[in-house]
Amino acid sequence: MGGTPAQEIDVVQAVVELAGLSVRFGKREILTDLRAALSGRTLGLLGPNGAGKSTLIQTLLGFCPIAGGTARVFGHDIRQHLRSIRAQIGYMPENDALVADMSAVTFVRMLGELSGLPARAALERAHEVLFYVGLGEARYRKLGTYSLGMKQMAKLAQALVHGPRLLILDEPTNGLDPSARQRMLRLIRDIRDSGHMHILLCSHLLRDVEETCEEVLILKQGRIVHHANLEKERSANKRFVELETSGDEGDFAQALAQLGCACTAVGAGRYKMVLPEDFDLRAVYRVAAERDLPLRRLSYRRDTLEDIFLKAMEGDPKRDELRLGSQI
């Protein structure tokens, strides 16, 4: 994006580090001992309603009291350096926080000044980011006259105006029609690919996260149940294969396992396999031919984010925590 300070991203330093972070409202614990180091350019935050996603965001912004542990943003502890952290964050909230009687350019300029920009620079940046998000022709209209899609773009503009290092987007496509959703996702990918800032995207839409994010953190009942680098998983050499045969051969799965495949029968004549690196798929056809077993269908697939999410939701977070702890 033109005009955004070209700050080099340090891929070694964690963007967000959670160090035993716990948050409690009254007697109820909302976040429990969160531990993770997030360093991707685009970080996806997932979880069902009530999982603690919004609480985590609000805690990083300094709006929730910490009951235990801490968190760091670009190495700065949120307990000690909150003011400098906020200066480096652009925040697009889920709910409307717009002043209906203000024009978009006045509103975004005001937010730029509140973020520390001089008045002249804030006005210049307000015009620039409003054109960038597609509101250039409507920047003098009052925000109260905007459609839902335009309001979402205005919220994105105010989060970008001061050129933050970390852009936090809370449900950015919420309520958008398909075309407006695609425009929003294109902008997020463009910001990501510019290399000027990191993005933390909180969404209940798995597809949005899968299309834009490199790293994902999944919460359930205030605990981390899965943390994955999606780029590494996508580039992994494991290949997932679904296989269907005409008939059922008792030792077919066992024969494939002896070749190094992880093979599971999921029904009569139906198998799921994970092929090892550099595996020659012709070996599967050879094993089937040796048993005179015709193959009806063979298809490749990779674990989607939906698969990862559903597996994470199946587990008990307390049990998973104990299991992970026993492996350390």
Full pLDDT tens readout for the chain, 328 residues: 544 443 444 445 789 999 999 999 988 999 999 999 999 899 999 998 889 999 999 999 999 999 999 999 999 999 999 999 999 999 999 988 899 999 999 999 999 999 999 999 999 999 999 999 999 999 999 999 999 999 999 999 999 999 999 999 999 998 899 999 999 999 999 999 998 899 999 988 888 998 999 999 999 999 999 998 887 766 665 677 888 888 766 688 888 888 888 888 888 888 888 888 778 888 888 888 888 888 888 887 666 787 778 878 876 554 444 333 333 2
- Per-residue confidence (pLDDT) for residue 205, from 0 to 100: 87
**In this structure, is residue 309 part of a structural domain?**
no
- Per-residue confidence (pLDDT) for residue 54, from 0 to 100: 92
Structural tokens at position 32: 């429990």
How is the beta sheet containing 68-73 ordered, strand by strand?
28-38, 16-25, 68-73, 76-77
Last residue of a domain, one of 184, 200, 233: 233
To the question of pTM greater than 0.95 for the whole model, the response is: no
In terms of Cα–Cα distance, which of 4, 163, 9, 19 is closest to 74?
9
Q: Are residues 222 and 291 in the same domain?
A: no
Q: Are residues 135 and 284 in the same domain?
A: no
Compute the distance between CA of residue 31 and CA of residue 24 in angstroms, rounded to an integer. Answer: 7
Q: Would you list the DSSP string of 261-317?
A: -EEEEEETTEEEEEEPTT--THHHHHHHHHTT--EEEEEEE---HHHHHHHHHHS-H
Q: Are residues 94 and 154 in the same domain?
A: yes
Under 8 Å between Cβ of 108 and 135: no
Compute the distance between CA of residue 226 and CA of residue 195 in angstroms, rounded to an integer. Answer: 26
CA atoms within 13 A on the CB side of 26: 1
How many C-beta atoms surround the C-beta of residue 53 within 10 A? 24
Q: Are residues 139 and 252 in the same domain?
A: no
- Per-residue confidence (pLDDT) for residue 328, from 0 to 100: 29
Q: Would you list the DSSP string of 150-189?
A: HHHHHHHHHHHTT--SEEEEESTTTT--HHHHHHHHHHHH
Of the chain, the end-to-end C-alpha distance in Å amounts to 43
**In this structure, is residue 66 part of a structural domain?**
yes
Q: What is the CA radius of gyration of the chain?
A: 24
Q: Are residues 196 and 114 in the same domain?
A: yes
Q: Which residues contact 234 (CB under 8 A, 6 or more apart)?
A: 302
- CA 320 to chain CA mean position, Å: 21
Under 8 Å between Cβ of 126 and 154: no
Q: Are residues 160 and 275 in the same domain?
A: no
CATH of the domain at 51: 3.40.50.300
**In this structure, is residue 163 part of a structural domain?**
yes
Q: Are residues 81 and 195 in the same domain?
A: yes
Q: Are residues 164 and 257 in the same domain?
A: no
In terms of Cα–Cα distance, which of 208, 168, 230, 202 is closest to 47?
202
Domain residues for the domain of 138 are: 16-233
Q: Are residues 103 and 198 in the same domain?
A: yes
In terms of Cα–Cα distance, which of 195, 199, 165 is closest to 185?
199
Under 8 Å between Cβ of 115 and 85: no
Domain count for the chain: 2
Last residue of a domain, one of 233, 251, 279: 233
